[in-house]
């Protein structure tokens, strides 16, 4: 194509043969265009048409020549803005072609080519700002680690040192028997290191340090999660049930041996037919005053104790929850110590134990099904802190209501609902560390002609991982708070703390499930290989949303507690009461709910924690008041309360969710205030902003429905979430490194 | 308490000692209330105070007596509405007590007791409407199954019969080697039944029936998913790569043996460093014209072929994708048949194969890593449908652009992106069948004093499962549509069909991941036991969101395709163009976007599929136009297109999502129109309404931001979603039974 006038068609020919987005239709458009150009001779037209005939593709060499002509044109005038600019260059600024500007631009439009993009692609600029973003932290990792570990730093260091020893190398056998024994051996090492009995009184060999106990649970969770659960069953559930429900005589008899793992035991509450509704347990403990014994019995198959950890292989005793029967009167569910195996691990008479078999995860824990066939235990085996039988064989209890007594007993066991979310938190941290470090290293795609780009530079990838990183940081501080509240609890605060722990258990474990899901997908095929550990983390924590209380059931408990609190404060429930409730303590709300504020979108405002807290509080209070109002209306309207609660069940979950969101943000903001390292404070503050704004974004439907936010503001929030993600990109690897998870625990080859 | 005046305090005492929601504060309120009652003597006041002293709890018998007094009072007047009504009854309508109405009601308020609820709880009405809801289908299951199976009914029956045979009993060994052999044996049985070669030409022993082939893939997915993937690798990826990329000589040589599984093979595309960006593959195929051979070579470790199914144990050959090099010129990625093992399964010289090791799931598939060390293959082994080397040793191709040629080759393999989502669909159906049937049988909690209630009667449980059931039905019809489009495709439609298949692959597999997660949680601990199969379904399908194209990457492809379509139609991109684009074909939109319609909430309107379709289309078009506008603005503003696409990446995913939502709804509505069974049509129509409304609810933030819906309408939609769930409850078990999954495949003991 020596004729420079014909050359002007090169960009179009190139597009036709290279761009797979152009179809027959566009083909025809160019053909028609050529036909109507009066300045072309018939021969020229024929020649041009032949260049785009489907039956006659250009050779690879011709294509390369065209491309180099275009490149030359762009080199001559790097400021070309449209295809027509290139056309002009190719024609050497031919005056005739210049006069065809309108026609050519029309052609570009007809082809639907976004001119600037096509031209930019021709330019092949390999150094885009997306390509050049990279890790460049602005804070000292060790300082942030110190802040996260806080007062538990020493015990955390100790645990990390232990689980990094060679004997803690992961078990890779798929043989469950081998895996279970390995986990048991690990537990023994931990017991020998005095970690198991950390929460028990010093009198019984313990460390009397509950805060350290929870830190141990969390830190162990960087390692194998079967180990953590086996550890928790033995020292937490089994040991603490003795400590919380028993009395001195039980402590003396059992606690030391439990703490050293000389006496492996179980916590036998759940039954096949009663997992969540434990009030309905059917196992019986029938008192025989003549012999001063109890007869422990499983009335039918579906009343067997199920999923009991430590039962299938190692447990020698169990705290068994059973209905106490005296003289044919049912005194509700109480707790009893029942031997299962002798010291040689032989199952005792009357006890039948089945293995639960393979599970999705946690296969290092020997869960079993226990059946009792008229097993006789001595009277002293009743854990009698809350109820007992006197010398006359009569029932005695300071809590006359059977229900209330049972729930009081359960309340003393709330520690398990702190250990589990803290373990879940650690698993989320492991997953994020693996996924973020891998995504930083992994490169895929890139600008035309440029190097491939770290996938962590892609906005969508940031969007998938960073809000979860922010939420995980938020939950870290919230669980610190719950732990402190639990340790410093008074009797009066118990209902609140129980609800808080139940709620945070659900909140943290759901976050872990969601986080690990995203981490697996973010690591692609590598995330699917067992060696990279996300699979184990996912499968082991999968049941966290179910055990220690099904999350959905727990959220309803939380909501009922919030409702009860609400009613106590605003008994009258008239319209003004509700309004004043919503606005009380949400001081800025009234001021904010005017068009200037609902539409306020400046950066300082959007990033202001006062705005975030107001928004969270407002949502919490409004949802709670509205659920209360709706319930009242339904019941007054004639519904049974049971039906009414069912009708609003979905709203109840929102009540709990909004309450927990507020607690979590509040504690995050509070924790930040006490940060002494200014560099890490700046970055973690960005995480708190990201947490707050991505939660608001998630709930934008609600905020828009309510009118608290207007569209212009929710859109600005979405952009701000993107911006925060982008700004956090260079810090992300350091933010996960601050979790300081031992390499031997992470173990994933993709991040080594 | 014989004094009937004192009796009036019984309800309050009962609450104090039984209700664990009452705390010290309320305790004091009652105490104070008693103190100020002037009609009581000092002795009476003291007596009453003693009844609530914390140091002196009532005996269990006293508590029971109080309760029976209350029961008696309610029995006398079952219409009591408040605690004060009970108080009056207990006083035998004492005139003095009557006069104290204001005081007592104030007390109730101060205690924050929602009177009606407390009273209802006292009433212990055991027959609530929540309790009595149950399965009661209104349609014939077999008729719906027939509609779902359609023309593929015969082959589906055949496959079901085969996988129900005793030799298809699930493998329970955790030993990978045993599992892999079992899966291989199963594949051989299927090959013997002529299922593997179903899509191949009759000339080479095949069934020449692509529709049946996809139905086979889907139906096999009710059984072990390792089997499906192994089957798909052999007959789909390996066989179809020969069929799609090779020519007659390859068909003759290989197709028959592939179809009978005499020749097990692999599809070796992915490399460690190039999983998604396969254009960047680094394996080389260097042509030697003297010997008429290629040298296949892996230049470095990260260029190894990775995750290759059938490679670790059984594969004897592989279709290898490698850059073709002739005379030091790179001609882009092409495909070559490379032998890996001899007939005795001995690995050939120059080939190194490593086992990928344990994975989260699909451990019955032998994935491996393949390295080539200067492996020589004859010239004929180049799959030469799209490119070849002529007798002069020169490159020839009808597609001059290397990129375009490679993407054309990939396009011919799009069938894999139909097989995978259809397999995912079957897995979702299995999970829903298990979870819904179990939830129907499983009872937990219930009204005070009543029987426990099927957990499927709980609104939240319905909310968790039924929208996913609806979406799964929706996807069923959408995948039928995609399959038909694929089978009946013309060249011109290929870009659209490729995008559609890529998008539906992402849409269906994400739905499966979400569905199985919810199913696991809905089944609680039972869902965690391997015997109940949700674990295997979850873990096996986990990688579906990654393989055959990472979902997020695919969604961006879809969005780019939509954008290209948009530009072709509306090249000018001026404001009026965009507006007319949005409104075109969304005929009712202009009419609807006025306050009467944005607020329209009557049931008929909310359930009207015309409303649903308009809402979906409007969202699709608006998001697409807005993304196009934003991109243009960014690029005109000076951003490199690569950066601009990164900035809007999040929006691009929305573009694809909205497009797929619309396709899925459209096909669901279309499929319903042709339902010939009126009973099942009524019920499946409810599913389509639930699908549509729950998607709108999920996106209500967007609709409110846009103004297409107003708060009053989004709230009405939420209620309607709840209502539809409730109405579908009696049909749910039958709706999953209509999937007609063989019992031997479901296998879960919890539903047997």
For every residue of B142-190, DSSP letters joined together read: HHHHHHHHGGGHHHHHHHHHHHTSGGGPPP----HHHHHHHHHHHHHHH
Other beta carbons less than 10 A from residue B195's beta carbon: 24
Closest alpha carbon to A331 in A273, A269, A384, A276: A384
Residue at A40 is within a domain: yes
Instruction: Judge: A571–B530 Cβ closer than 8 Å, yes or no.
Output: no
Domain termination residue (choose one: A92, A123, A154): A123
In a domain, B718, yes or no: yes
- CB of B636 less than 8 A from some CB of A: yes
Query: Tokens 């899966």 identify what position?
Result: B183
Residue B140 lies in a domain: no
Does residue B584 carry a pLDDT above 80?
Answer: no
A223: enclosing H helix or E strand: none
Residues 6+ apart with CB under 8 A from B243: B199, B200, B201, B251, B255
Q: If you write DSSP's letter for every residue of A294-316 in order, what string do you get?
A: EEEE--SGGGSEEEETTTTTT-S
- Contact yes or no for B222/B207 (Cβ under 8 A): no
CB B422 within 8 A of CB B214: yes
Are B397 and B457 part of one and the same domain?
no
Confidence of residue B384 (pLDDT cuts 50, 70, 90): very high
A243 within domain boundaries? yes
Mention every residue, 6+ apart, whose C-beta is less than 8 A from residue A102: none
Q: For residues B404 and B470, state if they share a domain.
A: no
CA–CA dist B334, B237 (Å, integer): 15
Q: Which ipTM score applies to this complex?
A: 0.93
Nearest CA in chain A to B552: A460
The pLDDT, as a whole number, for residue A551 is: 97
Neighboring chain B residues of A28 at a CB cutoff of 8 Å: none
Nearest-Cα residue of chain A relative to residue B308? A525
Number of structural domains chain B divides into: 3
Q: What is the pLDDT of residue A629?
A: 86
Q: Residue B196: its pLDDT value, please?
A: 97
> Whose structure tokens read 């009710």?
B222
Q: How far apart are the C-alpha atoms of B334 and A472, rounded to whole Å? A: 45
Contact status of A132 with chain B (Cβ, < 8 Å): no
Contacts of A538 in chain B (CB under 8 A): 360
Q: Summarize pLDDT for A534-583 with one digit per residue, the tens.
A: 999 999 999 999 999 999 999 999 999 998 888 776 655 454 555 555 55
Note the pLDDT tens digit of each residue in B526-541. Answer: 999 999 999 999 999 9
B643 and A129 in contact by Cβ < 8 A? Answer: yes
Helix, coil or strand: residue A653: helix
Alpha helices in A607-710 (DSSP H): 609-636, 641-647, 649-673, 678-698, 700-706
Q: What is the pLDDT of residues A497-524, one digit of tens each?
A: 999 999 999 999 999 999 999 999 999 9
Cross-chain Cβ contact A129/B446 below 8 Å: no
Residue A352: beta bridge partners?
A371
Q: Which of B413, B431, B451 is the last residue of a domain?
A: B413
- Determine contact, residues A266/A310, Cβ cutoff 8 Å: yes
Window B:51-70, CB contacts with A under 8 Å: 57-60, 62-63
Q: What is the pLDDT of residues B694-735, one digit of tens each?
A: 999 999 999 999 999 999 999 999 999 999 999 999 999 999
Query: In chain B, which among 582-601 make CB contacts under 8 A with chain A?
Result: none
B174/chain A closest Cα distance in angstroms: 6
| Interface mutation target, options A401, A438, A506, chain B, most CBs of B under 10 Å | A401
Does residue A142 lie in a domain region? no
Do both B612 and B472 map to the same domain?
Answer: yes
pLDDT tens, position by position, A17-53: 876 556 667 778 888 899 998 888 999 898 888 888 8
Biggest CA-to-CA distance, chain A:
121
* Residues A89, A206 within the same domain: no
Residues of A in contact with B324 (CB under 8 A): none
User: Is there a single domain that holds both residue B379 and residue B230?
Assistant: yes
Residue in B536, B537, B521, B622 with CA at minimum distance from that of residue B581: B622
Q: Are residues B320 and B301 in the same domain?
A: yes
The CATH number linked to B191 is 2.40.110.10
Residue A573 near chain B (CB below 8 Å): yes
Q: How are the residues of chain B apportioned to helix, strand and coil, as percentages rounded to the nearest 5? A: 60, 10, 30
Domain termination site, one of A364, A380, A413: A413
Position B566 scores a pLDDT of: 82
pLDDT (tens digit, 9 = 90+) per residue, B474-527?
A: 999 999 999 999 999 998 899 899 999 999 999 999 999 999 999 999 999 999
Residue A573 is assigned to a structural domain of this protein: yes
Cβ distance B129 to A640 less than 8 Å, yes or no, reads yes
Same domain, A222 and A297: yes
> What pLDDT, on the 0 to 100 scale, is given for residue B573?
47
Question: Residue A587: what pLDDT?
Answer: 47
In a domain, B160, yes or no: no
Residue A177 confidence (pLDDT): 97
Distance CA B409, CA A228 (A): 50
What is the residue-wise DSSP string for A310-374?
Answer: TTTTT-SEEEEEEEEEETTEEEEEEEEEEE-B-TT-PBPTTEEEEE---BSS-TTS--EEEEESS
If one counts every other C-beta atom within 10 angstroms of the C-beta of residue B56, the result is: 10
Minimal C-alpha gap between A398 and chain B (Å): 6
The alpha carbon of B556 is separated from its chain's Cα centroid by a whole number of angstroms, namely 19
Give A86 or B157, the one with higher predicted confidence.
B157
Shared domain for A384 and A435, answered yes or no, is no
Contact B112 A567 (CB under 8 A): yes
Q: Which of B403, B450, B635 sits opposite A117 (nearest CB)?
A: B635
Q: State whether B646 and A121 contact (CB < 8 Å).
A: no
Say whether both B425 and B373 belong to one domain.
no
Which chain A residues are within 8 Å of B25, Cβ to Cβ? Answer: 568
From the candidates A642, A644, A711, A747, which should be mutated to test the interface with B, based on the most B CB atoms within 10 A?
A642
Confirm whether B679 is domain-assigned. Answer: yes
- Contacts of residue B428, defined as CB under 8 A and 6 or more positions apart, other chains included, come to B468, B472, B475, B508, B511, B512, B515, B516
Q: What digits encode the pLDDT tens for the residues B27-58?
A: 788 888 999 988 889 998 988 888 888 777 88
Locate tokens 């039984």: which residue? B18
pLDDT at A288 over 80: yes
Instruction: State whether A428 and A337 are in the same domain.
Output: no
Cα angle A79, A80, A82 (rounded to 5 degrees) comes to 145
What residues of chain A, 5 to 24, have a C-beta less than 8 Å from chain B?
A: 17-21, 23-24
Residue matched to tokens 């199954």: B145
Collect all residues of chain B within an 8 Å Cβ-Cβ radius of residue A60: 331, 395, 397, 400, 402
A660 and A538 in a common domain: yes
Asked if the Cβ–Cβ distance from B20 to A407 is below 8 Å, we say yes
8 Å CB contact between B295 and B286: yes
Compute φ and ψ for B57, nearest 5 degrees: -65, 150
More confident residue, B18 or A59: A59
Q: In CATH, what number is assigned to the domain containing residue A465? A: 1.20.140.10
CB contact under 8 A, A357 and B531: yes
Helix (H, G, I), strand (E, B) or coil at B517: helix
Of A2-16, A542-556, B128-142, the range with the lowest mean pLDDT is A2-16
Residue B575 has pLDDT above 50, yes or no: no
Q: Cα(B202)–Cα(B508) distance, rounded to whole angstroms? A: 31
Q: Are residues A426 and A364 in the same domain?
A: no
Interface of A with B in 609-628 (CB under 8 A): 628
Domain containing B285 equals: 165-413
Query: Of the segments A190-199, A560-569, B570-579, which one has the largest average pLDDT value?
Result: A190-199
Mutate to test the interface with A, among B571, B630, B637 (most CBs of A within 10 A): B571
């Amino acid at each position: 194509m020596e004729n420079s006038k014909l050359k002007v068609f090169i960009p179009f020919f190139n597009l036709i043969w290279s761009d797979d987005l152009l179809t027959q239709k566009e083909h025809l458009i160019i053909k028609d265009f050529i036909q109507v150009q009066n300045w072309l001779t018939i021969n020229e037209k024929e020649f041009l048409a032949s260049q785009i005939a489907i039956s006659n593709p250009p050779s690879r060499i011709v294509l390369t020549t065209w491309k180099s002509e275009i490149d030359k044109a762009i080199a001559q005038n790097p400021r070309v803005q449209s295809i027509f600019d290139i056309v002009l260059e190719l024609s050497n600024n031919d005056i005739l072609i210049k006069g065809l500007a309108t026609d050519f631009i029309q052609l570009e439009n007809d082809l639907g080519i976004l001119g600037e993009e096509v031209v930019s692609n021709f330019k092949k600029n390999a150094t885009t700002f997306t390509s050049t973003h990279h890790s460049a932290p602005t804070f000292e990792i060790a300082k942030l680690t110190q802040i996260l570990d806080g007062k538990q730093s020493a015990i955390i260091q100790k645990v990390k040192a232990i689980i990094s020893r060679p004997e803690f190398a992961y078990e890779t056998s798929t043989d469950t028997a081998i895996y279970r024994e390995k986990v048991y051996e690990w537990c023994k090492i931990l017991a020998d290191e005095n970690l198991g009995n950390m929460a028990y009184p010093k009198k019984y060999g313990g460390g009397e340090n509950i805060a350290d106990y929870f830190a141990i649970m969390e830190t162990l969770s960087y390692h194998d999660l079967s180990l953590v659960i086996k550890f928790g069953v033995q020292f937490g559930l089994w040991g603490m049930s003795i400590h919380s429900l028993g009395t001195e005589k039980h402590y003396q008899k059992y606690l030391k041996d439990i703490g050293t793992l000389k006496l492996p035991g179980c916590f036998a509450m759940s039954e096949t037919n009663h997992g969540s509704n434990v009030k309905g347990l059917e196992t019986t403990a029938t008192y025989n005053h003549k012999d001063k014994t109890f007869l422990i019995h499983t009335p039918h198959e579906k009343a067997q104790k199920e999923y009991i950890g430590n039962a299938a292989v190692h447990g020698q005793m169990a705290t068994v929850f059973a209905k106490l029967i005296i003289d044919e009167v049912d005194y509700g569910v109480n707790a009893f110590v029942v031997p299962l195996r002798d010291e040689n691990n032989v199952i005792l008479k009357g006890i039948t134990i089945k293995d639960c078999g393979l599970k999705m995860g946690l296969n290092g824990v020997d869960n079993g099904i226990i059946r009792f066939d008229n097993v006789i235990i001595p009277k002293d085996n009743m854990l009698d802190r809350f109820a007992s039988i006197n010398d006359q064989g009569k029932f005695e209890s300071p809590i006359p209501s059977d229900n209330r007594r049972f729930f009081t007993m359960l309340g003393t066991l709330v520690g398990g609902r702190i250990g589990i979310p803290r373990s879940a938190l650690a698993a989320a941290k492991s997953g994020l560390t693996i996924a973020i470090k891998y995504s930083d290293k992994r490169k895929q795609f890139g600008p035309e002609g440029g190097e491939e780009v770290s996938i962590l530079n892609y906005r969508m990838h940031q969007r998938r991982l960073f809000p979860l990183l922010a939420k995980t940081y938020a939950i870290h501080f919230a669980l610190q708070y719950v732990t402190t509240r639990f340790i410093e609890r008074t009797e009066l605060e118990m209902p609140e703390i129980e609800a808080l722990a139940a709620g945070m258990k659900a909140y943290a474990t759901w976050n872990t499930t969601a986080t690990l899901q995203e981490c697996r997908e973010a690591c692609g095929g590598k995330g699917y290989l067992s060696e990279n550990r996300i699979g184990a983390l996912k499968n082991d924590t999968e049941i966290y949303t179910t055990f220690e209380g099904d999350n959905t059931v727990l959220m309803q408990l939380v909501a009922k507690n919030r409702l009860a609190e609400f009613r106590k404060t605003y008994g009258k429930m008239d319209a003004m009461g509700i309004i004043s409730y919503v606005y009380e303590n949400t001081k800025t709300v009234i001021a904010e709910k005017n068009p200037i504020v609902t539409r306020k979108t400046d950066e300082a405002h959007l990033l202001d924690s006062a705005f975030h807290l107001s928004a969270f509080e407002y949502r919490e209070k409004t949802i709670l008041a509205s659920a209360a109002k709706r319930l009242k209306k339904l019941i007054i309207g004639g519904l049974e309360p049971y039906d009414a609660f069912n009708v609003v069940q979905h709203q109840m979950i929102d009540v709990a969710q909004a309450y927990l969101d507020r607690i979590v943000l509040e504690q995050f903001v509070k924790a930040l205030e006490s940060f002494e390292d200014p560099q890490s404070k700046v970055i973690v503050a960005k995480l708190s902003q990201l947490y707050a704004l991505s939660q608001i974004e998630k709930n934008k439907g609600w905020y828009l429905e309510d009118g608290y936010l207007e569209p212009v503001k929710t859109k600005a929030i979405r952009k701000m979430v993107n911006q925060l993600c982008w700004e956090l990109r260079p810090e992300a690897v350091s933010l996960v490194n601050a979790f300081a998870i031992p390499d031997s625990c992470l173990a994933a080859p993709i991040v080594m």
